[in-house]
A and B are shown apart, each in its own frame.
Chain A
Amino acid sequence: MARVELQAVRKSFGTVDVIHGIDLDLASGEFVVFVGPSGCGKSTLLRMIAGLEDISGGELRIGGEKMNDVLPAKRGCAMVFQSYALYPHMTVRENMAFGLEQARLSKREIEERVTQSARMLQIDHLMDRKPKALSGGQRQRVAIGRAISRQPRVFLFDEPLSNLDAALRVDTRIEIAALHHRLHDTTMIYVTHDQVEAMTLADRIVVLNAGKVEQVGTPMDLYERPASRFVASFIGSPRMNLIEGATAEAMGAACVGIRPEHLHVAQDGPWAGKVVMAEALGSDTFLHVETAEAGRVVVRIPPGETPTPGTALHLAPDAARLHRFGADGAPLA
């Protein structure tokens, strides 16, 4: 039950401004993902909400209360760190109980909560091990379990999966989604670099760029209606093709964007080119095509026969799916 509101929130380290006035309103129980290029201030913003960094300006409210100067532990947030940050000298059980002991809960209640969250994450058989005797995935679960057992109003994740291998990442991602479903009252804020994590987990995505919010919206919103050239190129994998020069000007824009799945191989297509490289992924094939009109573009074609490099072909963009941007990067109607 906690709405998280940021109003003109700023952060400077000494004379360096890192966050330049951010306004956000996150609903209670919402799963919000922060994405953005490295160094744009995602972690800093998350740490300001947690209380690990001071807020240089503006206001932070959680559940309607101003939190700017409230101690981290009193904000009702729990954080899962990228490096897990488990206490190496404590067993899993002690790790999970530590925060509850600090809150002076009764022994029975601590035991109950720890057991419950351990069962939820299926780590109950590991309770008496030290972190060094756990695998990376198990450590991450313990870190999440430690956060859950505090029953926070707001859950903060800073790239929690980036130290896991690909398969484990997918499993844990699905578990986090299930967790959010079960703890539907808990607001979750999740920082990631990963497109798929952002698209699949988020109720809403916040795209940050150089300390400012570029766009806030549902994953499909951002995908289909990017509010700037930056968002257009940042969301989606492989990236949207951005075409500048005469071709764009002919359409009355400084730049036009077209996603790989909205380009088709067609006999009568306007753009002629040669295949440079073909990536067959099984479910899809991506062709890298060098064209005279549009430069180098990526095209998604259905699996099947893969054209060899050097093959000449014509491409046709799906006109309804073209994104046109002005010189300032803003979309044109």
Chain B
Amino acid sequence: MARLKTYGFYLLVAVIVLQAVFPFYYAILTSLETGQAIFDINYLPAALDWSNYRSMLSSGVFGRQFLNSAVTASAVVVLSLVLATTAAYALARIRFRGRGLLLLTILSVSMFPQIAVLAGLFELIRAFGLFNSLWALVFSYMIFTLPFTVWVLTTFMRKLPVEIEEAAIMDGASALTIIWRVFLPLMWPAMVTTGLLAFIHAWNEFLFALTFLSTDTQRTVPVAIAMISGRSEFEIPWGNIMAASVVVTLPLVVLVLIFQRKIVSGLTAGAVKG
């Protein structure tokens, strides 16, 4: 019986891993094949042909688009974290009327479907003169990343004992020193986790990027990939698309691997006494 349980458990794990990893694995396989080979179904690498990668990287704008994505996502992360830390401090530590309501409102903002705010947002961005600028994306992505970051960091900050802050006050630390030397080191795991999720969101976002940017050199990678076209309109260049997708996913994988330990402790940090 116990053995059956163990087998069942590993079977479940295998299914989950398979469904999570297989699409990516298949993308890698496809990206290494060319011509007709792509349409032959194989589950093991049949060829090692880097020509898709070569042709994509030499296409000129891809490097620029990659950079666009990186800049946008990094700006979103930095701005979100700076704004969210300060907001979380206020929401967690300072008593004022309507605090609970404000917090709920902030969270509910992130529940609107993107498509619902698209038209209004488009008008706003035109009015600010941000159309076809990366700032349009930074601005619109933060509508979705900020509520989440603020919420998580506020919850996290509430769990930090007030006495620690008071001890620092008694020790003569200024407000900035307290944030820099006491809060940040304690909040670091939570910030890494939320920052990473914000990065992933900004990196993968498609709809806003498609709507608010109009020229090839401004595009971010997800849109660029969707717009890769073949030699004729009847040919979809799967090889190139898959190669681009793999290249785009790699930074995320690397980031997650780097911060892996912090993420885990960040997600559980609320549960154990700090």
**A residues engaging B (CB < 8 A)?**
50-52, 71-74, 77-79, 81-89, 98-99, 102-103, 146, 150
Contact = CB atoms under 8 A, between A and B. Distances in A.
Contacts of A88: 164, 186, 274
A102 B170 CA distance: 10
B177 A102 contact: yes
Given A83-B163, A89-B185, A89-B186, A102 B169 contact: no
A54 B161 CA distance: 20
Interface string B39-67: 00000000000000000000000000000
Nearest to A71: B172
Top 3 nearest A-B pairs (CB, nearest first) are A73-B172, A99-B171, A85-B163
A98 B171 contact: yes
A52 B169 contact: yes
Interface in B144-172: 161, 163-164, 166-172
Contacts of A77: 170
Interface residues of B, number: 17
Contacts of B143: none
B173 A79 contact: no
B167 A87 contact: yes
Q: What secondary structure prevails in chain B residues at the interface with A? A: helix
A83 B170 contact: no
A102 B182 CA distance: 13
Contact of B171 (A84, A89, A150): A150
A85 B173 contact: no
Contacts of A51: 169-170
B159 to A, nearest CB: 12
Interface in B180-230: 181-182, 185-186
13 contacts: A52-B170, A72-B169, A82-B163, A83-B163, A84-B163, A86-B164, A87-B182, A88-B186, A99-B171, A99-B172, A102-B172, A102-B177, A146-B167
A101 to B, nearest CB: 9
A138 B111 CA distance: 48
A15 B168 CA distance: 29
A126 B63 CA distance: 53
Contacts of B182: 87
Given A87-B182, A88-B186, A89-B186, A73 B170 contact: yes
B163 A102 contact: no
Contacts of A83: 161, 163
B158 to A, nearest CB: 15
A150 B167 CA distance: 12
B116 to A, nearest CB: 41
Contacts of B177: 102
Contacts of B164: 85-88
A79 B167 contact: yes
